[in-house]
């Protein structure tokens, strides 16, 4: 039995389960896991089985990530719209005095 392969596989599963939502979620979807699997081996294989260094490695290699893995590690989050300033109510014109 190849223990090195088992350790790599276990480490990869741990890393990929942590990667979801930019590393903040407890688990990623199977699609997210598959998106980063090649990049973990290609760019960060020397850090297996250490999860935190692998995540740091992927983030440090942002320009080298495949587009699917980049979307997992650096998801686009639009800025919330800024509240509009309330328009000042127009001043009511003073009623003209009737000559009297």
Confidence grade of residue 97 (pLDDT, cut at 50, 70, 90): confident
Confidence grade of residue 2 (pLDDT, cut at 50, 70, 90): low
Contacts of 75 (CB under 8 A, 6+ apart): 21, 22
Confidence grade of residue 24 (pLDDT, cut at 50, 70, 90): very low
Cα distance from N-terminal residue to C-terminal residue, the chain: 110
- Give the pLDDT confidence of 30-74 residue by residue, as tens digits: 898 899 999 999 999 999 888 889 889 999 999 999 999 999 999
Does residue 26 register a pLDDT over 60? Answer: no
Nearest in space to 48 (alpha carbons), one of 40, 60, 56, 37: 40
């Amino acid at each position: 039995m190849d223990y090195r392969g088992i350790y790599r596989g276990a480490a990869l599963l741990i890393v990929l389960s942590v990667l979801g939502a930019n590393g903040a979620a407890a688990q990623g979807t199977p699609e997210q896991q598959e998106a980063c699997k090649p990049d973990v081996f290609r760019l960060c294989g020397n850090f297996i089985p250490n999860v935190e260094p692998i995540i740091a490695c992927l983030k440090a290699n942002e320009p080298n990530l495949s587009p699917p893995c980049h979307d997992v590690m650096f998801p686009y989050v639009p800025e919330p719209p800024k509240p509009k300033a309330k328009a000042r109510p127009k001043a009511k014109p003073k009623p003209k005095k009737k000559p009297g």
